[in-house]
Amino acid sequence: MAFNVAIDGPAGAGKSTVAKAVAAEENFIYVDTGAMYRAMALYFIREKIEPADEASIAAACVNVNITIAYEGGVQQVYLNGENVSGFLRTEEVGNMASATSGYIQVREKLTELQKQLARTADVVMDGRDIGTCVLPEADVKVYLTASSLVRAKRRYKELTEKGVSCVLEEIEKDIVDRDYRDMHREHSPLVRAEDAVFIDSSDLTLKEVVERIEAMIREKRPCR
Ligand code: DC
């Protein structure tokens, strides 16, 4: 039986950094489900489909094939055969992903792929609905969050280090808006699963968060 760790939480809570570190430590596969929603969003942007145009989004879903491969242990996302991993981490793609990930046609397509991956391998999977919808039977479930100001400051630091000029207040507003959309959509909204362990990383280091999750994994599979 594959061992599954689900990490959910809002944008910028540090899920991917934490999930990658836990996966490396445990020798599990890290599955970044946000990247799959971003790849779909990239397709909609390229096709010039408006995020509010549900009929066109639904029709486009039929033409999109998302696949995942691991190269050197790093997840690569393919959109209709093209490796698009390098195009996914922009604000434009993130906003489009947030606006379109609420559609049932988009969710059904990606949820099935995610379930398949978790059936066949030990995974740490991060996203918004992993513990609630994708892997309700996950062995370890975490809801990782941080205050919107802490998350905005982290993002601000990341962007300024890359030489991108930005305004902290605008980043925080973007984060608050995205939280609202992710938490209030009709299908698979971001909510903490009842059995997920709540971790607020505002005042914790990466190492502390990773150690807490590893302790939870050890408890569930003590003999490994
Ligand atoms: O985690 P991220 O920023 O890469 O995610 C991009 C968007 O995709 C986010 O706004 C919400 C959506 N998403 C989702 O609805 N369900 C997931 N499991 C992962 C991401």
Best mutation site among 15, 16, 33 for ligand 1, i.e. most ligand atoms within 8 A of its Cβ? 33
Q: Which residue has the tokens 């209030």?
A: 184
Pick the CATH number of 4-214 from 3.10.20.30, 3.40.50.300, 3.30.70.580, 1.10.150.650: 3.40.50.300
Q: Is residue 186 classed exposed, middle or buried when 0-12, 13-18 and 19+ CB atoms within 10 A define those classes?
A: exposed
Please name the amino acid found at residue 180. Answer: Y
User: Ligand 1 center to residue 22 CA distance, Å?
Assistant: 20
- How does DSSP classify residue 190? -
Q: Whose CA is nearest to atom 16 of ligand 1?
A: 128
Per DSSP, the residues of 100-160 read: HTTSHHHHHHHHHHHHHHHHHS-EEEEESSIIIII-TT-SEEEEEE--HHHHHHHHHHHHH
d(CA 110, CA 173): 28
Kindly list the protein residues whose Cβ atom lies closer than 6 A to any atom of ligand 1. Answer: 11, 33-34, 37-38, 94, 97-98, 101, 127-130, 178, 182
Residue of minimum CA distance from atom 20 in ligand 1? 34
Q: What is the DSSP letter of 87?
A: G
What is the per-residue pLDDT for 91? 84
Residue 17 in tokens? 């950094």
Residue 95 has pLDDT above 80, yes or no: yes
Using the mean position of ligand 1's atoms as its centre, give its distance from the Cα of residue 102 in Å. 10
95 Cα nearest atom in ligand 1: 10
Domain locations in the chain?
Answer: 4-214
In this model, does residue 56 exceed pLDDT 80? yes
Q: Distance (Å, rounded) from C-alpha 15 to C-alpha 21?
A: 10
Calpha distance 37→78 (Å, rounded):
12
Backbone angles phi, psi at 145, to 5 degrees: -140, 175
Mean pLDDT score, 22-34? 95
| Atom number, ligand 1, closest to the C-alpha of residue 181 | 10
Given a contact cutoff of 8 angstroms between Cβ atoms, the answer to whether 142 and 199 are in contact is yes
Mean pLDDT of 120-144: 96
**What's the gap in Å between 69 CA and the centre of ligand 1?**
19
Average confidence (pLDDT) over 190-200: 96
**Mutation choice for ligand 1 from 8, 31, 98, CB with most ligand atoms inside 8 A:** 98
**β-sheet bridge partners, residue 118:** none
Q: For residue 40, name the pLDDT band (cuts at 50, 70, 90).
A: very high
Nearest to 127 by CA among 3, 31, 217, 56: 31
Provide the pLDDT confidence category of residue 223 given band limits of 50, 70 and 90. low
Q: Hey, CA dihedral for 204, 180, 101, 138, is it positive or negative?
A: positive
Q: Considering only CA atoms, which of 38, 175, 46, 174 is closest in space to residue 106?
A: 38
CA distance 9 to 189: 11
CA distance 112 to 97: 18
Mutate to test the pocket of ligand 1, among 8, 20, 37, 44 (most ligand atoms within 8 A of CB): 37
**pLDDT value, residue 141:** 98
Look-up of token digits 């280090």: 161
